[in-house]
């Protein structure tokens, strides 16, 4: 029994002793016992000019380190210090610290600061020693410590084998999460790693303590998550990770086809804005926030052409998107042709294209008349000008936008009338040597189907400035009242244009053959005018008598 009690006491003493006594030893695989990471025992002359560490030594990731040297080393004008950062055995970064990168510290110490990367866990340092400085035994005055400032020199202290340091996190910092595809808390944790100076990689021991992020993935903002890790000696560390939920996507415009503004109609800026729409993945409908940036349309809205308007919209996160809208000003209205579209002409007369055109007018809503032209497209009259029947000549006008208007003019070739042209606007064109009486005018109205030839008409002259001027060029008027057997009355107002018949041929006699004209030749026009007047009166009397007898 006593032996068992003694054995138990020895075991308890051994456990207490082991856990209370620090066993000092150098190893590059755990952190130093003091603040200085550099041990003289870990340096050697790699070559005549290079002074390097023997083994890469353990350091912390995401940590600021300050390398300090005494003034006498700085003053020998070393070329540079090479610092290599490792992830286990692989070099991840190499830093070159030149003399001008060192700052002066009180006490004539010179220092330079750098930061290890997120995957760094080991480091090596090499000094270029062209002056043989390290051969003097003063290498112990160099120090590498944590932090961004020199805190005073301390000789290297070997670390303890008993693990009294908590592990530390790697890859910890602010995490950016996108609103449209937010990161999960599990993904955040999987991106973390932790390392312990004794146990090594303890990432598998990381646990979530608090989560202020997962329940807010629908609202932009910054949220905190706390993680904890423990080593095999129950030393724990916590890290707070800030998760910033952001919206980085630009708003999207709905694509609108080219807007056509039909002249003379125009659109205002508000009209165009009302046709546009935009949305955002976070803010939703942003149509009301669209604003105009550049307008090439408004000042040219009455000129046919294509113009750009630039618009922009921004969401609450400051993401902006521009949009260019095309506006095309078009003229889709064809020219208008007006005038006389039906003409009656005796078979022994020919109406020319120029005569028809003189009774046609044309206009366009956009182009000036000076820029328009009326052209003859088809003509089946000219080859049938001596044949009784109806024929057409088709004319057209095309504006600058390509809008075309065609108009057919009907030419009615008729008989039983002397040399006369009759237009449907009640315009009669005759010659000075052709005197028309009431029967001629009545027959003209029958031939042009304006009155029925199978009915009796009582014709009364309401006004007549033509008869007494029938042989004198000019424009005259004849107003008739026509009443049929049914008592229906028609008023017809005619405009009569009397013109000289054009000369087909002119022969001039020689000067020697000219003789004095006879009395008849001298007064021929007066004699012929009197005879024609008498014949006109006689024919009217005979026509009235015959018409009454027929009635």
Please say which residue of 388, 414, 440 terminates a domain: 414
In a domain, 8, yes or no: no
* 429, 540: one domain: yes
What pLDDT sits at residue 445? 86
What secondary structure letter does DSSP report for 518? P
The token pair at 337 is 């042709």
In a domain, 530, yes or no: yes
In a domain, 115, yes or no: yes
Give the structural domain span for 89: 40-146
The token pair at 43 is 């340096």
Distance CA 148, CA 138 (A): 24
Q: What is the pLDDT of residues 503-525, one digit of tens each?
A: 766 666 655 544 555 555 666 66
* 462, 534: one domain: yes
Helix, strand, or coil here: 459?
strand
What pLDDT sits at residue 114? 94
* 345, 432: one domain: no
What pLDDT sits at residue 354? 93
* 49, 125: one domain: yes
Confidence of residue 367 (pLDDT cuts 50, 70, 90): very high
Q: What is the pLDDT of residues 436-465, one digit of tens each?
A: 888 888 888 888 888 888 889 999 998 888
The CA–CA distances, whole Å, from 505 to 165, 431, 471, 509 equal 133, 17, 21, 13
Q: What are the start-end ranges of the H helices in 276-376?
A: 353-357
Q: What is the pLDDT of residues 147-164, one digit of tens each?
A: 998 888 898 888 755 454
> Which stretch of DSSP H or E encloses residue 549?
helix 524-550
In a domain, 5, yes or no: no
- Whichever domain contains 394, its CATH number is 2.60.40.10
Q: How many domains does the chain have?
A: 5
Distance CA 216, CA 102 (A): 46
Distance CA 214, CA 220 (A): 12
Question: Looking at the DSSP assignment, which residues form a beta bridge with residue 393?
Answer: 379, 409
In a domain, 536, yes or no: yes
Distance CA 28, CA 36 (A): 13
Q: Residue 351 pLDDT more than 70?
A: yes
What pLDDT sits at residue 18? 33
* 425, 536: one domain: yes
First and final C-alpha spacing in the chain: 172
* Phi, psi of 37, rounded to the nearest 5 degrees: -85, -15
In a domain, 17, yes or no: no
* 325, 387: one domain: no
What pLDDT sits at residue 23? 43
* 235, 303: one domain: no
Distance CA 411, CA 341 (A): 9
* Lookup result for tokens 């084998």: 161
State the chain's mean pLDDT as an integer.
83
* 242, 307: one domain: no
* 399, 435: one domain: no
CA–chain centroid gap for 292, Å, is 12
What pLDDT sits at residue 21? 34
Cis before 264 (ω within 30): yes
Q: Left (φ > 0), alpha (ψ -120 to 50) or beta: where does 147 sit?
A: left
- Whichever domain contains 425, its CATH number is 2.60.40
Q: What is the pLDDT of residues 34-56, one digit of tens each?
A: 899 998 888 888 877 888 999 99
Q: What is the pTM of this model?
A: 0.52
How many of the other CB atoms lie within 10 Å of CB of 526?
Answer: 9
What pLDDT sits at residue 16? 35
Confidence of residue 130 (pLDDT cuts 50, 70, 90): confident
What pLDDT sits at residue 222? 94
The token pair at 164 is 């009294």
Q: What is the pLDDT of residues 171-202, one digit of tens each?
A: 567 888 899 899 999 998 888 888 887 777 88
Exposed e or buried b for every residue in 330-347, given b needs 16+ CB within 10 A? ebebbbebebebebbbbb
In a domain, 511, yes or no: no
Q: What is the pLDDT of residues 415-433, one digit of tens each?
A: 766 667 777 667 888 888 8
What pLDDT sits at residue 315? 96
Please say which residue of 330, 361, 392 terminates a domain: 330
Angle, CA of 466, 472 and 475, to the nearest 5°: 50
CB within 8 Å of 482: residues ≥ 6 apart: 442, 445, 451, 457, 458, 459, 489, 490, 491, 492
Please say which residue of 197, 217, 246 terminates a domain: 246
How many of the other CB atoms lie within 10 Å of CB of 490?
Answer: 14
In a domain, 199, yes or no: yes
Q: What is the pLDDT of residues 5-25, one digit of tens each?
A: 433 343 333 333 333 333 455
* 133, 234: one domain: no
* 49, 139: one domain: yes
* 51, 113: one domain: yes
pLDDT greater at residue 92 or residue 19? 92
pLDDT greater at residue 24 or residue 92? 92
Decide if 42 contacts 34 (C-beta within 8 A). no
- CA R_g for the chain: 58
What pLDDT sits at residue 419? 67
252-253 vs 278-280, strand pairing mode: antiparallel
């Amino acid at each position: 029994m006593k032996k068992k009690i003694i054995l138990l006491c020895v075991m308890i003493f051994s456990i207490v002793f082991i856990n209370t006594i620090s066993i000092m030893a150098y190893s590059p695989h755990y952190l130093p016992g003091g603040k200085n990471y550099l041990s003289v025992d870990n340096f050697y002359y790699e070559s005549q000019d290079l002074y390097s560490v023997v083994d890469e030594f353990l350091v912390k990731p995401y940590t600021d380190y300050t390398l300090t040297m005494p003034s006498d080393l700085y003053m020998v004008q070393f070329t540079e210090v090479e610092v290599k950062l490792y992830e286990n055995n692989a070099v991840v970064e190499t830093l070159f610290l030149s003399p001008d990168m060192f700052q002066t510290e009180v006490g004539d110490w010179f220092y330079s600061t750098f930061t290890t990367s997120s995957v760094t866990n080991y480091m090596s340092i090499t000094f270029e020693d062209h002056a043989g400085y390290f051969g003097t035994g003063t290498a112990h005055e160099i120090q590498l410590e944590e932090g961004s400032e020199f805190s005073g020199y301390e000789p290297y202290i070997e670390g303890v084998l008993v693990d009294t340091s908590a592990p530390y996190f790697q890859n910890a910092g602010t995490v950016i999460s996108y609103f449209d595809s937010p990161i999960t808390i599990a993904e955040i944790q999987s991106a973390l790693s932790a390392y312990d100076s004794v146990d090594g990689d303890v990432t598998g021991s990381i646990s979530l303590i608090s989560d202020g992020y997962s329940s807010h993935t629908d609202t932009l903002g910054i949220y905190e998550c706390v993680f904890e890790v423990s080593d095999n000696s129950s030393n724990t560390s916590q890290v707070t990770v800030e998760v910033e939920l952001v919206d980085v996507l630009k708003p999207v415009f709905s694509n609108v086809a080219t807007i056509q503004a039909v002249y003379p109609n125009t659109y205002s800026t508000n009209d165009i804005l009302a046709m546009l729409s935009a949305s955002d993945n976070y803010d939703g409908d942003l149509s009301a926030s669209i604003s105009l940036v550049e307008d090439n349309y408004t000042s040219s809205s009455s000129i046919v052409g294509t113009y750009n308007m630039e618009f922009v919209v921004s969401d609450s996160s400051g993401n902006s998107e521009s949009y260019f809208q095309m506006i095309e000003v078009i003229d889709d209205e064809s020219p208008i042709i007006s005038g006389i579209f039906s003409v009656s002409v005796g078979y022994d007369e020919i109406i020319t294209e120029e005569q028809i055109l003189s009774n046609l007018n044309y206009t366009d809503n956009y182009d000036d008349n000076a820029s328009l032209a009326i052209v003859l497209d088809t003509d089946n009259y000219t080859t049938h000008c001596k044949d009784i029947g109806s024929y057409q000549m088709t004319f057209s006008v095309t504006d600058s936008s390509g809008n075309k208007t065609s108009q057919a003019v009907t030419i009615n070739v008729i008989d039983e009338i002397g040399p006369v042209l009759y237009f449907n606007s009640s315009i009669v064109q005759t010659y000075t040597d052709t005197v028309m009486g009431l029967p001629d005018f009545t027959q003209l109205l029958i031939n042009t189907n304006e009155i029925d030839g199978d009915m009796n008409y009582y014709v009364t002259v309401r006004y007549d400035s033509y008869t007494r001027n029938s042989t004198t060029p000019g424009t005259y008027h004849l107003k008739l009242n026509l009443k049929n057997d049914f008592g229906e009355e028609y008023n017809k107002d005619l405009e009569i244009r009397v013109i000289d018949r054009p000369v087909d041929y002119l022969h001039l006699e020689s000067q020697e053959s000219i003789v004095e004209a006879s009395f008849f030749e001298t007064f021929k026009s007066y004699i012929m005018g009197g005879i024609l007047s008498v014949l006109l009166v006689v024919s009217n009397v005979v026509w009235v008598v015959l018409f009454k007898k027929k009635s």
